[in-house]
Chain A
Amino acid sequence: MGVTKEKVESTLTSKLNPSHLEVEDISGGCGTSFALEIVSEQFEGKRLLERHRLVNAALAEEMKEIHALSIKKAQTPEQWKQQKSSEVSKPAA
């Protein structure tokens, strides 16, 4: 039982139209815990709690079988771009 990483990806892709999405199965393959990063225009003007609610709602069906979902990032494309460029401008260690 459980949910596949691909299922989580396809659901989020169709509902939130993300410009960046990274889903990681952290359950060791049994499909019960996931960590994810998501960048979507739908997060514009929303607080973090509301963004997480959007992700939870999109995955409502899957959440019945997922025990733990860690949303590591829920950003707007603008925030994502800024963060990327600040990472790039840092000198390499």
Chain B
Amino acid sequence: CSFSPALTPELKATLDKVVTSHKVILFMKGTKDFPMCGFSNTVVQILKSLNVPFETINILENEMLRQGMKEYSNWPTFPQLYIDGEFFGGCDIAMEAYKSGNLQELLEKAMCS
């Protein structure tokens, strides 16, 4: 077991609920209306262009959440995109999947499930 100072069992239980609270949820720097980083903005624009409902959570407002999410997702950077309760990837992966059409497909599936 690795040493994880940020992800307490309580925080993990909360995050389990948060990532499944919406079909599509983006943990990002800033908000969907005011992204604070180019990488976060890229994913917001992709989701907007695909016309799917999505929620965003601003990790800049909560340092504990920010550190905890890195461990929860096993992913060191933001944004972090969750689809149907599952970690999908960061900006590069979202971009690649968008270009190949895989993201649209997955989102359609998620919306119907």
User: What is A's interface to B at a CB cutoff of 8 Å?
Assistant: 48-49, 52-53, 56, 60, 63, 67-72
How far is A52 from B80 in the complex, measured between Cα atoms in Å?
A: 13
Contact mask for chain B residues 84-111; partner A; CB cutoff 8 A; 1 contact, 0 none: 0001111111001100000000000000
A70 touching B91 in the complex, CB below 8 Å, given contacts A53-B74, A56-B76, A63-B76: yes
B-side interface size class: 10 to 19
Would you call the interface of chain B mostly helix, strand, loop, or mixed?
Answer: mixed
- Asked if B76 and A49 sit within 8 Å, CB to CB, the answer is no
- Which residue of A is nearest B37, CB measured? A68
10 tightest CB-CB pairs across the interface, nearest first?
A: A63-B76, A71-B92, A49-B89, A56-B76, A48-B93, A70-B92, A49-B93, A48-B96, A52-B93, A69-B77
Q: Is B54 an interface residue (CB 8 A)?
A: no
Count, A-B residue pairs, CB within 8 A? 29
> Which residues does B use to contact A, with CB under 8 Å?
39, 74-77, 87-93, 96-97
B84 → chain A closest CB, angstroms: 14
**Chain A positions within 8 Å of B91 at CB level:** 70
| Bound complex: CA A3 to CA B32 (Å) | 31
Which residues from chain B contact A48 at a C-beta distance below 8 Å? 89, 93, 96-97
User: How far is it, in angstroms, between the C-alpha of A36 and the C-alpha of B92 when the chains are bound?
Assistant: 11
CB contacts (< 8 Å) of A68 on chain B: these are 39, 77
A22 → B minimal CB distance (Å): 15
